Amino acid sequence: MRPQPMPVDAAPSAQRPVIHAAGVCLRFGEVDALVDAALDVAPSEVVSIVGPSGAGKSTFLRCLNLLAVPDRGRIDIGGTPMFDDGLRLGKGELRRVRRSLGMVFQKFHLFPHLTALENVTLAMLDAGIATREEAVRTACALLDRVGLRKRALQPAPALSGGEQQRVAIARALAMKPTALLFDEPTSALDPEASREVLCVMRELAQQGTTMVVVTHEMQFALQASDRIVFMEGGRTLETASPDEMFHRAQSPRARAFFSQALQHAGLA
Ligand SMILES: Nc1ncnc2c1ncn2[C@@H]1O[C@H](COP(=O)(O)OP(=O)(O)OP(=O)(O)O)[C@@H](O)[C@H]1O
Ligand SMILES: [Mg+2]
């Protein structure tokens, strides 16, 4: 008999991980994109996922909220199974889980015909979690939080890349997510715009937001994360504190990657 979908409790307790993933495998044709990938994220923790191109970082992030469906493995959000071999959530539960993990992509995916404010309110109105008045109030507060109060009524395309990405962050926060997932949020931005976005992310981290960040920004990984996961060939090869990972990584591949990264970033 197929296991029944289980109700998802989006509110994590202090004891259990916000995200628990283990043995996650996904194959695209001949490519093993994920091989036994694993991740545990505690409440208020910031985890950076780092590794070479094609390592499976984006695929893993997408699996966490089932934008990509693993072939095998287990994923719990807030202590409740959302994917386990054979277990599939119903549509409503899946929507709820996806909402509990706010996603910020490299490309901002804002609606170009809407203002910054409307982009943020729309998410709440679509999800039916706020009246129009509440949605506007929340959106204004969030745009203020990401430094964009004065740009709220601008159409999205009139905003700079950094501003658009900050709107995307405000939009993700509007859903009151349990955790934010970022996939290279600054790699489409120039250095100035990257700094603006990283600054907002550092503030969120300091305020206790649980975050998983796929990034090539070594300075952010080193300074703003609690832990770093190194991925290669679809595997989560090593997990360690930033200091350990950058200076005393166990595996030769991680050691080589991080010593090169330090040199590139001028941090060596
Ligand atoms: N939809 C797909 N169809 C086929 N292969 C895919 C698909 N998505 C990813 N892959 C393959 O899976 C592997 C992992 O890709 P992924 O995009 O997760 O890597 P990444 O670590 O995010 O790389 P990058 O740093 O370049 O963004 C790669 O070999 C990629 O070509
Ligand atoms: Mg990627």
Residue 55 C-alpha to ligand 2 middle, in angstroms?
Answer: 8
Average pLDDT, stretch 118-138?
Answer: 95
pLDDT of residue 264: 81
What digits encode the pLDDT tens for the residues 167-178?
Answer: 999 999 999 999
Q: Which atom of ligand 1 is nearest to the CA of 55?
A: 21
Contact of 143 with 202, CB cutoff 8 Å: no
Q: Which residues of 188-201 are buried (b: 16+ CB within 10 A; e: fewer)?
A: ebeeebbebbbebb
Residue 36 C-alpha to ligand 1 middle, in angstroms?
Answer: 16
pLDDT of residue 98: 80
Return the best residue to mutate from 48, 59, 103 for the ligand 1 pocket (most ligand atoms within 8 A of CB): 59
pLDDT of residue 14: 53
Q: What is the rounded radius of gyration, in angstroms, for the C-alpha atoms of the chain?
A: 18
Residue 216 C-alpha to ligand 2 middle, in angstroms?
Answer: 10
Cα distance between residue 47 and residue 18, in whole Å: 12
Nearest CA to ligand 1 atom 6: 28
CATH architecture of 19-264: 3-Layer(aba) Sandwich (3.40)
What digits encode the pLDDT tens for the residues 26-43?
Answer: 999 999 999 999 999 999
Domain map (residue ranges) of the chain: 19-264
Give the containing element (helix H, strand E) for 201.
helix 191-206
Average pLDDT, stretch 62-85?
Answer: 90
Average pLDDT, stretch 148-156?
Answer: 96
Q: Which residues sit with their C-beta closer than 6 Å to ligand 1?
A: 28, 31, 33, 51, 53-59
pLDDT of residue 3: 40
pLDDT of residue 7: 41
Task: Identify which ligand lies nearest to the alpha carbon of 33.
Answer: 1
Q: Where does the pLDDT of residue 80 fall: very low under 50, low under 70, confident under 90, or very high at 90 and above? A: confident
Average pLDDT, stretch 160-169?
Answer: 96
Q: Where does the pLDDT of residue 82 fall: very low under 50, low under 70, confident under 90, or very high at 90 and above? A: confident
CA 68 to chain CA centroid, Å, is 14
DSSP summary character for residue 192:
H
pTM: 0.91
